[in-house]
Amino acid sequence: MPPQRSTGTDSEAEHPRYAGQYLLEARLGSGGMGIVHLARSASGLRLAVKVVHAEFSQDPEFRGRFRQEVAAARRVSGAFTAPVVDADPDAERPWMATLFIPGPTLAEHVKRNGALSVDRLRHLMAGLAEALRDIHRAGVVHRDLKPSNVLLAEDGPKVIDFGISRPADSELRTETGKLIGTPPFMAPEQFSRPRHVGPAADVFALGSVIVHAATGSGPFDSDSPYLVAYQVVHDEPDLTGVPQELLDLVERCLAKEPEDRPTPDELMTALRSVSASYDTRAFIPEQRTGERKTAPPARDVTRRPRHERPEGSEAKTHAAVAKKGGRRWRLPAVSALAVLAAGAVAVGAFAWPGGTQTPASARKEVALPSRSGGFGPWDVKLTSAGAKTVEQPQCTYGAHRLYCVRPGALAVAVDPANGKVLWSRPDPGWRNSDVPGAPVVSGGLVQILSRGGQRLTALDPSTGKTRWDRDTTRYEGGVAHAGGVVLLTGHGSEVTALDAATGKRLWQHVLPGLSSPRFSSYGDGVAYAVSRDGSRTRVASVDPETGVVNWQRRLDQALNLVHAQAGALWFTSTDNQQYTDAVVRYDVADRTVKRVELPVPLVAAQAVVHGDTAYLLADGGTLVAVSTRTSAQLWRLETSVSWSSAPTLAGDRLYLSAADGRLLAVDTARGALLGQTRARLAGDRGSLISALPAPLTADGRVYATAPDGSLFAVDGRDPSGW
């Protein structure tokens, strides 16, 4: 039967026909923030599209929160979540489209079929541990892991919903009205120490989810949300009905102190030793559609009422046994403060790159013995004193120095031999909304684009003093460097070229045939201008000093330029779902195009090229090597990095940075992981990272930055010793 369309005047009646270009076919579910629809793309791909309720779409706070949800979901898109396909947080009705994953939520499955068997519980626990490991490595803390946010897919559980914004569901609020989670699945520190909530809170929620899957009820259940909050902070969990094999692990997950809980990696290791007969087969769930099915009777799991359990607090004595089902809570902040002896109730940020309970400022770095030529690894914090947030520095290498930008500082010069700060140039005009880009050494000067792309400043590399600067507001951030020239693209596709050494204008005109071109340069003294027109790509070779167009070609594909060398250009090709599906080589002299299809399309792949080989790193951590000479995929490696920087090549090594601050090294000949550094996560002052800087290489050393505000160096010739 066709899906039913709601009628009436409430928000459930608002059922738009399309979200962007996606046809909404049926309603999968509804929450306080919006409705999730089953939808199809133009090519027939099935999607789950979340559309914000009209009543909230005009609220700037909710729009901002939805943008955060989209950003977090994109960062963790991988094997254990629903990959984001498209989104428009600025639409009249903001929406986000993810791949549709057939299968019920864990809450639906338990309600319809009862508790899971012990084998299925082990599989669920292992899958959620893997998912949390991936999510935390991306620098995100979910904060709202619960049965309704776990999808039971054929290939394992998937964690969904990174928004934690459900006003109509009446989850716990602070005095400012921000939402922080669902009380029966929240960790104690979310109530008592909200500014120190990290990945361990998700592990606590995992323990509660497993109890629910094993018994049909949570470890802290009551008809009153106030009592639930008290029990989470003060009482021992009720684990009646949890299988003996998993009891110890669940108890460890539900430890009151975050440091007493296992990490996801420790959970995965422990689960392998729980039973020799550990069933790793996929959980095959019922299929999810837009229509309801008649549910079979649920099995009953007997649990003792709380008044029959061991003596505990008054709250435990008088709490009633909670009913099964999707109960929702409304708990005003003032009442919560009266109930919780532990103090302030919580802050509202749902995700931050802080994966540690130890503040970054409290950790000490120990220099390791030198492994090559007297060089010893070093680590220096570049966070400004008194900063309210920690931002990952953006750095470049040039003129035998490292130059970095960070909030509050226009630039910092660092000695690459020992990490000593040589000079630091403050930026009194810095604003919290500014996102600085990496410096560029051009024309013998350090070029800094600041103020959100509105000012270009050229600094003396020895002293940090300003040599020249220019207002770039009218160029809409279209600033590029080629050789000793700065190229600025403005309105009407007009290009202005400046001498990077003096700031003087060299030429200014419109490049014929190119609409809003974007420039790239690959060290060959040429600027390559690329513009896209639907499924066609125009590329031109431009002399940056004169503005003369050497040649121009039109390619009948949607391409992204990634490299140029020896008279050839390399591109990646994207399909209409924004998957990278091929590597394309274009030979300039004979105008031949060679397209090498990827065996499996990659999500938003970043590429680097050496010789005839292209290395592509996708969101989700898949790394592949493709030969444009033999048209073959040479190797494929799953790095387990959900969100990473662009890769960097140096000799026979490839380096990449993960969102948790790890630096990884890969052997380009074999596709083997050679080593990785420890994670360097931000403390409780962390914030979302908009882009991960790629590692830098020079003289056999590798330099990288991390979310804790540090810049560090390691020996590139010995990754196994990292």
Checking DSSP bridges between strand 505-510 and strand 648-650, what pairing results, if any? unpaired
Per-residue pLDDT for 303 more than 80?
A: no
Beta sheet of 18-19, edge-to-edge order: 18-19, 22-30, 34-40, 46-52, 95-99, 84-88
Across residues 187-201, what is the average pLDDT? Answer: 80
Instruction: Quote the pLDDT of residue 431.
Output: 59
Across residues 560-582, what is the average pLDDT? Answer: 89
Across residues 422-433, what is the average pLDDT? Answer: 76
How far apart are the C-alpha atoms of 31 and 34, rounded to whole Å? 5
Per-residue pLDDT for 684 more than 60?
A: no
pLDDT in tens, 593-608: 999 999 888 888 999 9
Q: What is the mean pLDDT of the chain?
A: 78
Per-residue pLDDT for 701 more than 90?
A: yes
3-12, 294-303, 545-554 — most confident range? 545-554
Strand partners, 538: 531, 554
Per-residue pLDDT for 474 more than 50?
A: yes
pLDDT in tens, 519-568: 999 988 899 999 987 778 999 999 999 999 999 999 988 899 999 998 99
Please tell me the least confidently modeled range out of 197-206, 333-342, 640-649: 333-342
Per-residue pLDDT for 5 more than 90?
A: no
SS (H, E, C) 487-510: EEECHHHEEEEEECCCCCEEEEEE
How far apart are the C-alpha atoms of 181 and 173, rounded to whole Å? 9
Which residue, 668, 651, 660, 672, is CA-closest to 616? Answer: 668
Please tell me the least confidently modeled range out of 52-66, 464-478, 504-518, 622-636: 52-66
Beta sheet of 568-574, edge-to-edge order: 559-565, 568-574, 579-587, 592-603
Written as six digits, the tokens of 435 are: 């996102």
Per-residue pLDDT for 357 more than 80?
A: no
**How confident is residue 180, by pLDDT bands cut at 50, 70 and 90?**
low
Instruction: Quote the pLDDT of residue 430.
Output: 64
pLDDT in tens, 707-721: 888 999 999 988 988
Across residues 657-666, what is the average pLDDT? Answer: 92
Instruction: Quote the pLDDT of residue 462.
Output: 95
**How confident is residue 170, by pLDDT bands cut at 50, 70 and 90?**
very low
Please say whether the dihedral angle defined by the alpha carbons of residues 270, 272, 273 and 279, taken in this order, is positive or negative: positive
Under a CB-based contact definition with an 8 Å cutoff, are residues 267 and 203 in contact?
A: yes
Per-residue pLDDT for 311 more than 60?
A: no
How far apart are the C-alpha atoms of 677 and 3, rounded to whole Å? 52
SS3 182: coil
Which residue, 302, 312, 212, 294, is CA-closest to 253? Answer: 212
Instruction: Quote the pLDDT of residue 421.
Output: 95
| Sequence-separated contacts (24+) of 283-287 with Cβ below 8 Å | 283/120, 283/123, 283/124, 283/152, 283/154, 283/156, 283/157, 284/154, 285/102, 285/103, 285/104, 285/109, 285/152, 285/153, 285/154, 286/103, 286/104, 286/109, 286/112, 287/102, 287/103
Instruction: Quote the pLDDT of residue 292.
Output: 39
Higher pLDDT, 60 or 278: 60
Catalytic residues: 144
Written as six digits, the tokens of 416 are: 């690459």
Per-residue pLDDT for 280 more than 50?
A: no
- Element at 565 (helix H, strand E): strand 559-565
Higher pLDDT, 450 or 630: 630
Please tell me the least confidently modeled range out of 103-112, 284-293, 343-352: 343-352
**How confident is residue 364, by pLDDT bands cut at 50, 70 and 90?**
very low
Instruction: Quote the pLDDT of residue 401.
Output: 96
Written as six digits, the tokens of 230 are: 């008290």
Across residues 411-415, what is the average pLDDT? Answer: 96
Per-residue pLDDT for 398 more than 80?
A: yes
How far apart are the C-alpha atoms of 516 and 508, rounded to whole Å? 14
How far apart are the C-alpha atoms of 263 and 121, rounded to whole Å? 18
Higher pLDDT, 349 or 703: 703
pLDDT in tens, 101-140: 888 899 999 998 999 999 999 999 999 999 998 888 777 8
Name the phi and psi angles at 259, rounded to 5: -70, -15
Instruction: Quote the pLDDT of residue 302.
Output: 43
How far apart are the C-alpha atoms of 112 and 135, rounded to whole Å? 29
Written as six digits, the tokens of 287 are: 């299929």
Instruction: Quote the pLDDT of residue 142.
Output: 87
Across residues 52-58, what is the average pLDDT? Answer: 80
Which DSSP string corresponds to 56-85? HHT-HHHHHHHHHHHHHHHHH-STTB--EE
How far apart are the C-alpha atoms of 455 and 471, rounded to whole Å? 5
Give the pTM: 0.55
Per-residue pLDDT for 29 more than 50?
A: yes
**How confident is residue 469, by pLDDT bands cut at 50, 70 and 90?**
very high
pLDDT in tens, 435-447: 567 899 999 999 9
**Residues making up the chain, counted from first to last:** 722
How far apart are the C-alpha atoms of 401 and 416, rounded to whole Å? 6
Instruction: Quote the pLDDT of residue 75.
Output: 75
**How confident is residue 15, by pLDDT bands cut at 50, 70 and 90?**
low
Written as six digits, the tokens of 410 are: 């226009």
Per-residue pLDDT for 370 more than 50?
A: no
Which residue, 630, 590, 593, 592, is CA-closest to 614? Answer: 630
**How confident is residue 683, by pLDDT bands cut at 50, 70 and 90?**
low
Per-residue pLDDT for 583 more than 60?
A: yes
Across residues 494-507, what is the average pLDDT? Answer: 96
